[in-house]
Amino acid sequence: MTTTENRTAGWASLSWDLTELILSYLPLRSIVRAGAVCRQWRAVVTDPAFAARAAATRQRRPWFFLCGQNNVVLRKNQAFGFDPDAGEWVALPPSPHPSAAAHVDCFSGAGGFFFATTSSTRFCYAPLLRGPWRETSPLHFSRCNPLVGVFAGSGRPRFIVAGGARFVGGLVDIEDRLAVEIYDTASDSWELCPPLPPDYRGGNSSQWLSGALLDGRLFFVFGIYSCSVAAFDLGRRAWTGVRTLQPPGVLFSFLLACGDRLVLAGLCNSPDGPPCFALWAVDPRTMDFAEIAVMPHDLLASLFDTDDDDNKFASLKCVGLDGLVYVFNEDHHKAYPACVCEITTTTTSSSAPLTQNLTCRWSKVPPLPGTVNRFHKVIAFCSPVVLRAVLAPGGGVH
């Protein structure tokens, strides 16, 4: 018997449980590939119980999604997903929309879903990396570029849609009541909730706001430039008062959810040199904050082609979830480069200081794969990827 035959016989002699355990430790894309090796492995990874057991074996970190839209030539649209466990990008279907030929007013993602609106009241959603797309019943108020969050309600996913510009006759409605609606996926119905506080009337779309869902209970809305923050209690269906969250020198910033705390990430003036990009831990009850990390200057410089343009920082954007903070350039410079900060903690005590036992590690995200087109708009978000949805027929990871 040859060495290759010995190895094959060795793998074939493994029990089902042991094979399942070994495969459950692989990154998601490697699990999909393992299912194509032989019939036994295919049977293991497609078993309905495998996804749940794999989730219990290894906690998988959320992916970073980057989707580029070309307003003129739709076939130049591209979408990518970065798996931090594997350290690699995955090229996704180029038009993850309800219809590749449809005009998409806005596109986003959160909580394991893609979202899109293709007309003033048409709201659609689909599980990440696979269809089918579903069109909801019409919104009470038309939305363009709203904030979208996903939370569990009565054992099923629900979507909160907050703000977003409203158009009347092709013009922005300056009397817009800043609607907030919650969608029930089981009943296909929208619940109209108390609107955004009037403090957000000056900029109420996702271009001006960032959202953070904390513990599935509070949906924080934060003004990227105004630094105003308020939280919507999903249980009581009520808003907290509006407060200001602005560390000294901050020019613009983004609010992210990180475990049981919030993280503020933003560009700020430095008294001794050029602007820097910093992170602050934020107490969600008091809005107290403390600096936890500053991006190394060489990493920040790697996001740009030149150091001469004073306005270059305006194209910096930031998304993150569960201890991963991604900072990227939404302009085409160097094909949309990105950096990531991994935040880890060794304590879960609610009484511990904001920065106690926190460690931060910055690194550069690998470049996007292949030839990257130039886009008119870049949409980015972080979201967990549900293994059972990817392994089901029609999954989009290969």
Q: What is the structure's pLDDT at 57?
A: 78
User: In this structure, are strands 134-135 and 147-153 parallel, antiparallel, or unpaired?
Assistant: unpaired
Q: What is the structure's pLDDT at 137?
A: 92
pLDDT over 60 (residue 86): yes
Q: What is the structure's pLDDT at 393?
A: 59
Q: What confidence tens digit (pLDDT) does each residue in 111-149 have?
A: 989 998 766 567 889 888 776 888 899 888 877 788 999
pLDDT over 50 (residue 380): yes
Q: Which comes out higher in pLDDT, residue 109 or 171?
A: 109
Q: Give the H or E element holding residue 39.
A: helix 39-46
- Residue 334 DSSP code: G
Q: What is the structure's pLDDT at 205?
A: 61
In which band, very low, low, confident or very high, does the pLDDT at 271 lie, cut at 50, 70 and 90? confident
Q: Which comes out higher in pLDDT, residue 339 or 354?
A: 339
From CA 117, how far away is CA 137, in angstroms rounded?
Answer: 12
In which band, very low, low, confident or very high, does the pLDDT at 392 lie, cut at 50, 70 and 90? low
Q: Cα angle vertex 58, ends 57, 64, to 5°?
A: 155
Average pLDDT of the residues in 229-234: 96
Q: What confidence tens digit (pLDDT) does each residue in 149-190 have?
A: 999 877 789 999 998 866 555 545 555 568 899 999 999 999
Q: Which comes out higher in pLDDT, residue 88 or 16?
A: 88
Q: What is the structure's pLDDT at 76?
A: 87
Q: What is the structure's pLDDT at 203?
A: 66
| DSSP per-residue letters across 166-182 | -EETTEE-TT----EEE
pLDDT over 80 (residue 334): no
Q: Which comes out higher in pLDDT, residue 288 or 204?
A: 288
Please give the C-alpha separations between residue 133 and each of 116, 124, 125, 226, 318, in angstroms, as whole numbers. Answer: 10, 7, 6, 35, 27
Q: What is the structure's pLDDT at 173?
A: 53
Q: What confidence tens digit (pLDDT) does each residue in 203-227 have?
A: 656 678 999 999 889 999 999 999 9
- The pLDDT mean for the chain works out to 83
Average pLDDT of the residues in 96-118: 72
Q: What is the structure's pLDDT at 100?
A: 47
Average pLDDT of the residues in 372-395: 81
Distant-in-sequence contacts of 129-134, Cβ < 8 A, 24+ apart: 129/81, 129/92, 129/385, 129/389, 129/390, 129/395, 129/396, 129/397, 130/389, 130/390, 130/392, 130/394, 130/395, 130/396, 131/394, 133/97, 133/98
Q: What is the structure's pLDDT at 211?
A: 93
